[in-house]
Structure 1
Amino acid sequence: MTASPPSALADAPPRPSDAAQPLIPSAAGRRRGGRVAAWIAIGAGILVAALLGVSLFGGQPWAKKAPLDPESAAPDGARAIVQLLEQHGVRVDVVRDTQSALDALHATAATLAMPDSPYLSDARLRAVADAAADAVVIDPRARSLRTLFHDSRPAGFATGALAPACDLPAANRAGVISVAAIAVPGDGVSVCYPSGDAAALLRVDRASGPLSALDGKSLLANEHLAEHGNAALAMNLLGTRATLVWFMPSIDDSDLSAPPTLGSLTPEWVSPVIVLLLVAGVAAGIWRGRRFGPLVEENLPVTVRIGETAAGRARLYARSGDAGHALAQLRHGARGRLARLLGLPPSASAASVADAVAARLGADPRMVHAILIDTVPAGDRDLARLAADLRDLEDAVHAAVRPEGTTNERH
């Protein structure tokens, strides 16, 4: 073999492995980099949102304040009446546990504003009410009406505005009010703003001072305070003394055996952080919730019958006119079958198979080599003749190996 001249080697194009790598990143690399940068941006945004939530809400209670809470500016809160009382010189002390309420009431003759709370037992509710000079139950329920107002009971709701229709100066000065819940009075309970057998204001005279009950949600709440004479009645009942103790019982102050809730056991900053993380997660899902790139086609395997494959190859060989290649395939199959008949290993060479066939038949090795290896067909006629010789050679070997049968094992 003649070596190539040096000039030809020098002018040969470089191989792909020797070519310089492109300096510009591929499109796939850019897409991967863009996805990584996007997820980094999402993580940074979530972290910033969490830190912002902690800074905004870390020092504030996240849970919604209870209705009639004196520090709540919500529609159902009572911050407006507290501000009115303070503008008229009444000091409002907001307490949220029983001991603080008792201490404030024992320190001075004060008015008590208190809702009926499921966190307090009957004995504790009565003890706090008895410690006040004047007391107003601003959210009476069946338990407080029964315990503090001589077995009074709820009677549903009134419709429209109610007039005082009593001799109580505080009610007469206020005039008509809009109130919802009413109650049927028990023995020894005086009433104002009657509606049938029930009334909106119940009152019990005690030695220490009066004890009143009214529906504060429809009278004292911020959204209803400006209706009719609601604000005037609230001022007349709650502003009779220089100090008003507004008691809002909490679950932490309960004297009952109720288990604490999950909200009372977790820090105040947990809820806003969880909400912000959920919002950030939903936003990220909406932003990135799409397909990454176009659909990819997948080449699925196709099952073809052996007969179709053989026929297809035969048509290709016939169309190409390559008799030598067709004969090579016929010889390869024949040598494999002859090797199995003679007990030769699969790795046996073509010459070894030809020698074994000649030895078995006692034939001229040159003739067997010509049929199995050497002869090159000049055309289709030679191909047909050599194919017949291969078939006859196989039949002869088969008859020599298994003389009792004549079945042809060729496949």
Structure 2
Amino acid sequence: MTDVAETVIPASTAERPARRARLMKIGGWVVVAAILALGTFIAGQFTVSTPVTGALDPESVGDTGSRAIAEVLRDQGVDIEVYRSREQARAALDDDTTLVLTNPATLTDDALDRLLEKADRVVFLSASAHLLEHLGLGSPAPVAPAPGAARCDVPEFAEVGTIRADRGFLPDDGVEGCFGQSDSTAVLVSEQSGTRVSVVDGIRLFSNSSLTENGNAALAVALLGQTGKVAWYVPSFDDTDIDAVTADALGDLTPPWVTPAILLLILAGGAAALWRGQRFGPLVAETLPVTVRASETMHGRARLTAKAADSSHAAQALRDGSRRRLARRLGLAVNASGDEIADAAADRLRVPRGSLQVLLDGPLPSDDSVLIAMARQLGELETAVERSAPTPGRES
């Protein structure tokens, strides 16, 4: 009896591996939670400490920034100083300084007038309808200006060349409109009480990604490089004088006990999820009973579209496929817009851009006959682009 009793494993010893396994599982969840909390903290610190620069910021090297303009002007001998305080920018103004800024939507009219009162030359790189009205310059035009030269009497624009802007203005009486026709001009120039004020939509023309197109760089030098110094003011909500009205938060509108109750429910839900999650075993890989080929899915969706007589949906699917294939053949990004693809295809095929823009980004057909014609035109366009591609060893 003694030998048999000595061979029996005590219950406490048998339970140790199971207890150790449970502790390891709990420890694993604790480690995961700690890693998530640490990652969230680091991401928050990085986000707070990283400066955020917007469109046409002269210190930004992104596609929408304008660091390239600043470097071009410095190469021309122009001294550029960037200010994020309107008072510092105002103090830096003199007769040999050009004040440059985008639409100062963060300033009141009084603060804007105070900033401009010492300026001899001012260039707005974007403007709202309110700013144009406040300065007595004009109003936004309903259509974009036609690409072309200056067509005005401003001397520094004589050698700029062709400008293609996406936004135009209608000048008021006494305001010079350049680069366009009477119905839309890209640049406004006005003399107001000894101050020369110029307005241009520079987001499309002067960003880092567009500065090398057409005469954009020459226009930037003509507008910003006429004085020895440039005071570039970057408006921001950190420098605003507009009194913000804070709306009541949800916590202000609910009883005091609601927030603790919600937190308690969240903790209880998390605990229940951990508790119930331990009852399920490991994932089991299982072979799917049916494999559906991609071609069958395509034909099925096509039959559904045909049955619903949804010509516009079918046309959009055809157009999206043609865009992707044309973008790849023209060396563009996969997500290139219809306008970009139309421009590249028109340059490749030497055909008018307007017809291609309507085909790739125009209204969708509403009946099957127009859909069939559109599909045929898209196929012909893809064939023409593919045939026009240069072959290796072929002389250009």
SS of aligned partner of 1:170: helix
Spell out the pairing of 1:124-143 with structure 2 (5 A cutoff): 124-143=111-130
Spell out the pairing of 1:52-201 with structure 2 (5 A cutoff): 52-53=42-43, 56-57=46-47, 59-61=49-51, 64-106=52-94, 109-150=96-137, 152-158=138-144, 161-201=147-187
Displacement, 1:156? 2.9
SS of aligned partner of 1:144: helix
Instruction: Find the structure with the greater CA-based Rg.
Output: 1
Q: Which amino acid aligns with 2:125?
A: I
SS of aligned partner of 1:105: coil
Once residues 216 and 260 of structure 1 are traced to their aligned partners in structure 2, the CA distance between those partners, rounded to angstroms, is 33
Once residues 119 and 24 of structure 2 are traced to their aligned partners in structure 1, the CA distance between those partners, rounded to angstroms, is 69
Displacement, 1:58? 5.2
Once residues 258 and 157 of structure 1 are traced to their aligned partners in structure 2, the CA distance between those partners, rounded to angstroms, is 34
Cα RMSD of the aligned pairs, angstroms, is 3.2
Q: Which amino acid aligns with 1:248?
A: V
Q: 1:132–1:208: 8 Å Cα contact kept in structure 2? A: no
Change beyond 3 A, Cα 1:289–1:218: farther
Residues paired across the two proteins, number: 257
Spell out the pairing of 1:215-234 with structure 2 (5 A cutoff): 215-234=201-220
Once residues 39 and 56 of structure 2 are traced to their aligned partners in structure 1, the CA distance between those partners, rounded to angstroms, is 32
Is 1:20 the counterpart of 2:10? The answer is yes
Displacement, 1:53? 3.5
Q: 2:163–2:215: 8 Å Cα contact kept in structure 1? A: yes
**TM-score normalised by length of structure 2:** 0.57
Q: What percentage of residue pairs aligned between the two structures are identical?
A: 29
Spell out the pairing of 1:362-401 with structure 2 (5 A cutoff): none
Is 1:40 the counterpart of 2:30? The answer is yes
The Cα offsets for residues 347-396 of structure 1, whole Å up to 9 and x where unpaired, read as xxxxxxxxxxxxxxxxxxxxxxxxxxxxxxxxxxxxxxxxxxxxxxxxxx
Once residues 36 and 80 of structure 1 are traced to their aligned partners in structure 2, the CA distance between those partners, rounded to angstroms, is 55
Displacement, 1:153? 0.7
Change beyond 3 A, Cα 1:294–1:43: closer
SS of aligned partner of 1:126: helix
**TM-score normalised by length of structure 1:** 0.55
SS of aligned partner of 2:25: helix
SS of aligned partner of 1:174: coil
Aligned pair partner of 1:292 in 261, 278, 298: 278
Q: 1:94–1:245: 8 Å Cα contact kept in structure 2? A: yes
Partner of 2:260: none
Spell out the pairing of 1:323-338 with structure 2 (5 A cutoff): none
Q: 2:127–2:201: 8 Å Cα contact kept in structure 1? A: yes
> Greater shift after overlay, 221-230 or 71-80?
71-80
Once residues 120 and 206 of structure 1 are traced to their aligned partners in structure 2, the CA distance between those partners, rounded to angstroms, is 20
Q: Any gaps of 5 or more consecutive residues in structure 1? A: 1-9, 263-287, 296-411
Change beyond 3 A, Cα 1:45–1:131: same
Displacement, 1:210? 2.0
Once residues 43 and 280 of structure 2 are traced to their aligned partners in structure 1, the CA distance between those partners, rounded to angstroms, is 38
SS of aligned partner of 1:139: coil
The Cα offsets for residues 143-193 of structure 1, whole Å up to 9 and x where unpaired, read as 22112234x111134166232112323222111012111111111101111
Displacement, 1:79? 1.5
Once residues 251 and 55 of structure 1 are traced to their aligned partners in structure 2, the CA distance between those partners, rounded to angstroms, is 21
> Greater shift after overlay, 121-130 or 253-262?
253-262
Change beyond 3 A, Cα 1:48–1:100: same
Question: Higher relative contact order at CA 8 Å, sep ≥6: structure 1 or structure 2?
Answer: 1
Q: Any gaps of 5 or more consecutive residues in structure 2? A: 249-273, 282-396
Q: 1:188–1:204: 8 Å Cα contact kept in structure 2? A: yes
